[in-house]
Structure 1
Amino acid sequence: MVTKLGIIGLSPGNGHPFSFSAIINGYDDGKMKESEWDVIYRYLNKKDLSDFGILDAIVTHCWTQEEELTKILAGACNIDHAVKRIEDMIPEVDGVIIARDDYESHYPIAKLFLEKDIPVFIDKPLTLNVEELSYFIPFLKTGKLMSSSSFRFSDEVYTAKKNVHHEQLNFFRGSIVNDWEKYGVHLIEGFSTLTSFEPTVVEYQPGLLDSYLIYLMNQEVLQINCLGNMKPIFKMEIFNKNQYITFDVKDNFSMFKRMLWHFIHSIKTRNPVIEAQVTVNIMKVLIAGNISKAEKRPVTIDEIGL
């Protein structure tokens, strides 16, 4: 049976509605090229026709904040229904993808579907609002809600997980373009798969760039460097007594596809893809980091509550 999906976007600088929809549906070459998402067009264009499609899913409905943009998205990604109201999707779809990284929009949109028992995927970060996070927790636990950075599913992180010496204490360092809230989460999500991710304290380090130290229960430490507006960099490093691993996360197509596969599969099983507490801990780290920067002090995760 076909799994019908709705896709919801767009936020500035984030072309995920186009990339996610194209990976599932395939795309119209001319219309995608005209959409002006050049980076997305280039990596899609390198793929064979056989690389597109996930299980039995199809994106059947889409909505963005602008009617003309919704039509462009529908045309580029072979989506049959460009709707004028988000609510028009509710009786028509088996799941929705909120492909926006402006976290302030997530709660009001997701609530429409979650309370109709429609599974939802929310682009990173889920929310930096404690009350909203509390609302989402039951849905995370039951598998009705999934939210993740695609770094968790990247080939590069998978390879590192196989090779890192887990019997030794590790120091993890990551450097990424742009800011803590929207991009730091990529590194936190990726590193969370490489260790027992039980954060205790977050400490902002002032300097030429935004740097954050995340202390873990197992005495390992993560350092996240957010480099601001510069040439894209997505570098992850692992240090221990006898080992140094470094890699750049580059293959957007494969990690997006793997992430979407897991969401679509979870629609059928209603089983959580990611343990709820892991997602909650990642959001609490982001919240603690904001407080640490604003108040110029280390912030314990316990201060966030929940």
Structure 2
Amino acid sequence: MIGLSPGNGHPYSWSAIFNGYEPAVMEHCGFPVIPRYLEQQSFPEDAIAEARVTHVWAQDGEIARHVASAARIGHVVTDWRDLIGAVDGILLARDDAESHLEFASPFLEAGLPIYVDKPLALSTREARQLIDRQRYPGQLYSCSALRYAKEFCLDDATRASIGTIRQIHATVPKDWDKYAVHVIEPLLLLTPDRGPVVRCQRWQSGDANTLQVEFENGIAAQISTLGSSAAPLALRVIGETGWRDLVFKDTFHAFRSALHEFVQGALHRDVRIAPQFMLEVVNVIELGRGQ
């Protein structure tokens, strides 16, 4: 486990999903929502049984020791490179994408499977650099856990009732660079026949950012990160004959599903998320940055 970037509690929550946790210590993790959704689960029954977080590094030793205490991690390392040879896989639980190439490269070159927290990168150029460092297909796994959110799935009956999807309007709180991916990824999964982006427009109002894109097959999407506003993390899917509002709620289920999928990919050494899909996600992020 490698952490911790400002505002990102994943070293705590992800580790707990494997190891269980100490409630009294987790209360002081600095992310009040984490102990609240963890206490709704039953451990060890709801933990991931096939793996365990055994080592942790953070840029501040005190933080690393607190993560270890909260999530029952046995070893705190002072140099993250020392994880090579000590563990079977890496959780890079930092969402400062600008650090991902530096942190991930040694592990990719060493052949270790690695889960890189969202977003993989802020440009397709950097994303390709990471993907190209793989020693085998599927070694690099990166996603928003919301790709596995049950709330963002459409069953056959719902798809039939709304008809062919024409537009998706997506909203998420906070900033574009770190949080747009939470709706971009499920949006792309809902539209597998979309083709490439053929037209886009972006605008900014205060701390809110909006990107409008049209795909080759005619589907349009509007993605808004709404900064400090109390916005829902939601998709409105509009079809020819109806529409549905899909609102994300179950953080634990999404996180556990994403982590479990990473473990299965590491165990079987196969591809769980296609590199081309990762690049498409990063491409939309890059378009929304306007750089």
TM value normalised by structure 2: 0.93
Deviation sequence 1:9-63 (CA, Å, 0-9, x none)? 1111110110000011100111111223211011101111244321420000001
Equivalent residue of 1:210, what SS? strand
- Residues in 2 aligned to 1:140 and 1:231: alpha-carbon distance in whole angstroms: 43
Which of 264-273 and 122-131 deviates more?
A: 122-131
Equivalent residue of 1:191, what SS? helix
Kept in 1, the 8 Å contact 2:234–2:248? The answer is yes
Counterpart of 1:202?
A: 200
Deviation sequence 1:165-202 (CA, Å, 0-9, x none)? 48614200011101221111110001111112433233
Counterpart of 1:127?
A: 121
- Residues in 2 aligned to 1:284 and 1:54: alpha-carbon distance in whole angstroms: 32
Counterpart of 1:82?
A: 76
Q: 1:255 to 1:40 in 2, by over 3 A?
A: same
Equivalent residue of 1:279, what SS? helix
Pairing partner for 2:145 from 145, 150, 160: 150
- Residues in 2 aligned to 1:143 and 1:123: alpha-carbon distance in whole angstroms: 15
Pairing partner for 2:34 from 40, 47, 50: 40
Kept in 2, the 8 Å contact 1:141–1:276? The answer is no
Kept in 2, the 8 Å contact 1:137–1:280? The answer is no
Q: Across the two proteins, how many residue pairs are aligned to each other?
A: 286
- Residues in 1 aligned to 2:156 and 2:2: alpha-carbon distance in whole angstroms: 32
Counterpart of 1:66?
A: 60
Equivalent residue of 1:142, what SS? coil
Amino acid at match of 2:195: E
- Residues in 2 aligned to 1:146 and 1:162: alpha-carbon distance in whole angstroms: 31
Counterpart of 1:299?
A: none
Counterpart of 1:172?
A: 168
Residue 274 (structure 1) aligned with residue 268 (structure 2): no
Equivalent residue of 1:49, what SS? coil
Deviation sequence 1:74-99 (CA, Å, 0-9, x none)? 00000000111101111111110111
Residue 192 (structure 1) aligned with residue 188 (structure 2): yes
Amino acid at match of 2:227: G
Deviation, 1:205, is 3.2
Counterpart of 1:113?
A: 107
Kept in 1, the 8 Å contact 2:18–2:47? The answer is yes
- Residues in 2 aligned to 1:279 and 1:152: alpha-carbon distance in whole angstroms: 12
How high is the sequence identity, in percent, across the aligned residues? 33
Amino acid at match of 1:254: H
Residue 30 (structure 1) aligned with residue 29 (structure 2): no
Q: 1:206 to 1:37 in 2, by over 3 A?
A: closer
Residue 260 (structure 1) aligned with residue 256 (structure 2): no
Equivalent residue of 2:8, what SS? coil
Residue 238 (structure 1) aligned with residue 237 (structure 2): yes
Q: 1:168 to 1:207 in 2, by over 3 A?
A: same
Which of 156-165 and 275-284 deviates more?
A: 156-165
Q: 1:257 to 1:228 in 2, by over 3 A?
A: same
Deviation, 1:240, is 1.3
Deviation sequence 1:127-178 (CA, Å, 0-9, x none)? 1144322222333981000100011000101246772248614200011101
Which of 210-219 and 197-206 deviates more?
A: 197-206
- Residues in 1 aligned to 2:35 and 2:110: alpha-carbon distance in whole angstroms: 35
Q: 1:108 to 1:169 in 2, by over 3 A?
A: same
Deviation sequence 1:94-121 (CA, Å, 0-9, x none)? 1101111100110111001000000110
- Residues in 2 aligned to 1:280 and 1:80: alpha-carbon distance in whole angstroms: 36
Q: 1:230 to 1:241 in 2, by over 3 A?
A: same
Q: 1:78 to 1:29 in 2, by over 3 A?
A: same
Gaps in structure 2 of 5+ consecutive residues: none
Amino acid at match of 1:20: W
Gaps in structure 1 of 5+ consecutive residues: 1-6, 295-306
Deviant stretches of 4+, over 4 Å: 159-162
Which of 141-150 and 249-258 deviates more?
A: 141-150
- Residues in 2 aligned to 1:104 and 1:218: alpha-carbon distance in whole angstroms: 33
